[in-house]
Structure 1
Amino acid sequence: MAAVRRGTSRHRSHKQMISVPYVRVINGLNPGRVIIIKGVVKENALSFAVNLRFHSGISLHYNPRFSDNVVVRNSFLQDKWGKEESTGGLPFFRGQPFTLTICCEAQSFRILVNGHEIQHNYNYRHALVYEINKLEIDGDISLTSVVI
Structure 2
Amino acid sequence: MIRPTQPKDKTAILAIAKAIGFQPEEQETLGEMVADYFKGNGELWFTDDEQGPVGVAYCASERMTTGTWNLLFIAIHPERQGQGRGTALIHHVEQTLTAQGVRLLLVETSGVPDFEPTRQFYRHCGYEEEARIREFYDAGDDKIVFRKVLKTVD
**Shorter-chain TM-score: what band?**
under 0.3
Structure with greater strand percent: 1
Question: Greater relative contact order (Cα 8 A, min sep 6): structure 1 or 2?
Answer: 1
Structure with greater helix percent: 2
Structure 1 or 2, whichever has the larger Rg, is 1
TM-score calculated relative to the size of structure 1: 0.28
